[in-house]
Amino acid sequence: DVKVTQSSRYLVKRTGEKVFLECVQDMDHENMFWYRQDPGLGLRLIYFSYDVKMKEKGDIPEGYSVSREKKERFSLILESASTNQTSMYLCATRTPVSFGNTIYFGEGSWLTVV
Amino acid sequence: AQTVTQSQPEMSVQEAETVTLSCTYDTSESDYYLFWYKQPPSRQMILVIRQEAYKQQNATENRFSVNFQKAAKSFSLKISDSQLGDAAMYFCAYRSAYYGGATNKLIFGTGTLLAVQP
């Protein structure tokens, strides 16, 4: 089974703090994603990465950056957290075409910015 | 740009009954994938069922089946013999079959919250 682990399930941070959300996958997948989930808006893509040190902006990248120094780890960074970044953050990975080309999610990180 | 629409924010079904969740999408592409994901309260989002657009046969996974109408751009999920454990938020999602760049991403609807009444 594909395992996607988000190390922090619940975080409370202050406005202006730098926040790191970590995601690790154990299947050597090339593609990894960060989504943000908000009620009534569904899931929106923040950033994705298709290999080590390779990244592309998604639909809502403003206020976020990412880091992928190793294949198994994809980090989402909030340089200066703001209250409108209070949300659920979901990391995901995609299996290769030969394994179904399917996206699997981590359990999510609930971030509250006060 | 592709869009996914789920017009039912909430649905309710009696245990053991059948319920159908609606999803429509818009795309100019001919080859793509469609998915239904389930997200129980405070739990991980999991894949329920997937459909390749080039396949005419509707996908089925145990009690879950889809009605895929490509011309109408409709992709509904039918849950038969509903169980209490089916209560969750259900998301419909689209992904292009063309490989590379932003086409890798899933485009989600806004979700349908399903309640199962005992």
Residues of B in contact with A103 (CB under 8 A): 35, 47, 95, 106
Greater confidence, A11 or B43? A11
pLDDT at A106 (0 to 100) = 93
Supply A69's token pair.
Answer: 């120094």
The chain A residue lying nearest B109, using CA atoms, is: A42
pLDDT at B102 (0 to 100) = 54
B50 touching A, CB under 8 A?
yes
The chain B residue lying nearest A41, using CA atoms, is: B110
CA distance A49 to B101: 9
pLDDT at B1 (0 to 100) = 79
pLDDT in tens, B73-109: 999 999 999 999 999 999 999 988 876 655 567 899 9
Average pLDDT over residues A79-89: 96
Average pLDDT over residues B56-65: 94
Q: How many angstroms away from the CA of A40 is the closest CA of chain B?
A: 6
What percent of chain A stands above pLDDT 90?
72
pLDDT at B103 (0 to 100) = 56
How do strand A109-113 and strand A10-13 relate by DSSP bridges? Answer: parallel
Tally C-beta pairs within 8 A across A and B: 51
pLDDT at A49 (0 to 100) = 93
Note whether A79 and A62 are within 8 A (CB).
Answer: no
In this structure, of A62-76, A86-100, B77-91, the range with the lowest mean pLDDT score is A86-100
What percent of chain A stands above pLDDT 70?
98
Contacts (Cβ under 8 Å, ≥6 apart) of B103: B95, B96
The chain A residue lying nearest B41, using CA atoms, is: A107
* pLDDT grade for A27, boundaries at 50, 70 and 90: confident
A88 touching B, CB under 8 A?
no
pLDDT at B105 (0 to 100) = 78
Secondary structure (3-state) at A3: coil
Residues of A in contact with B105 (CB under 8 A): 33, 45, 48, 58
Q: How many angstroms away from the CA of A110 is the closest CA of chain B?
A: 10
Q: Give me chain B's average pLDDT, please.
A: 92
